[in-house]
Amino acid sequence: MDQEKKITVVGHYGMSLLMDVEHFPAVGETVEGLGLETEPGGKGYNQAIAASRLGANVNFITAVGGDDFGARCEADLISEKVGGRYIIKFSELKTACAFVINTGDGKSEVYVYPGAIRHVTPEHIRRYTPAIVGSSLMLLQNEISTEALCEVVKIAGEAGIEIIYNPAPARVIPRELFPYITILTPNETEAAILTGMDPEKPLDVDRALDMLHGFGAKNVIITMGGQGSVVSQAGKRFHVGALEGKVVSTTGAGDCYNAALAVKYLETCNILEAAEYASVAAGMQVMQPGVIANMPYRSEADEVFEKMHGAMVSAY
């Protein structure tokens, strides 16, 4: 990958505690864990690491508290070869923490304490304007406040920087942001929330796509887990299948998908090829326990992609 091109991720860094259980507890029930791991995490951190492992030159803008978790942030980023490390420190606050519960049948529940990242303001974001406008692509999600997110999008969008926006965790965003978004990547629940549909009901994919384009999003990919994704661009829609294999844990799959999408899109400017590559990378990630430990490296993802390229795409 051209190392002059940079992907900038804005999101949280925190500590993840991952526990395997036989089943999720009922109210009032205590369930004994079958295994426990700890590793750094957060959607932003996961995306930054996944993109770095796939060969990208990565900037990461984040915030930490004045605790032991926060003290690890820079060392973790250095070890993963993230070159641009922009860490806002709030000494009086706690660093984000996530509790991830995985069952034997591949289901996950995640509880997140956002900590310092939610205290990032538009003023903090403006301090990093040179890093943002010096980027080739922004990779964003909803871990910062709506106000801070709007500031990032407007700085990047007005500078002509392309943006991949993964609207997770799900929430409604101001309509004026949509025209700045190059690729919008909601899952079915997030697409329902963005369009005002009932997230408890099966998503009307075509209607959701029509509405999201109507809001101003240029290209939309709705991800559907094991059912793959639907890519909508330039008036055409395609289905991209998921990589086949036994799913062990879905935690981090969306982060891996979006990072791989960003890396391949920055290289090729081909959204459909990037979506194929993202399906491969995310599919590899979910076939092993853990999150960061299983983010694939470039050589691994390329080897599988070369075998699958073209076979995963069909008419929608």
Active site residues: 255
CB count, 10 Å around CB of 20? 17
Strand locations in 33-149, DSSP E? 35-41, 57-65, 84-90, 96-103, 108-113, 137-140
- Report the distance separating Cα 101 and Cα 107, nearest Å: 8
User: Cβ(104)–Cβ(79) under 8 Å?
Assistant: no
Q: Which of 137, 99, 95 is nearest to 10 (CA)?
A: 137
Position 180, amino acid: Y
- Report the distance separating Cα 228 and Cα 240, nearest Å: 6
User: Cβ(232)–Cβ(240) under 8 Å?
Assistant: no
Q: Three-state DSSP class for 43?
A: helix
Q: Phi and psi for 194 in degrees, rounded to 5? A: -65, -30
Q: Say which DSSP state 187 is in.
A: B
Position 187, amino acid: N
CA angle 3, 299, 305 (to 5 degrees): 105
Taking phi over 0 as left and psi of -120 to 50 as alpha, with beta for the rest, 59 belongs to beta
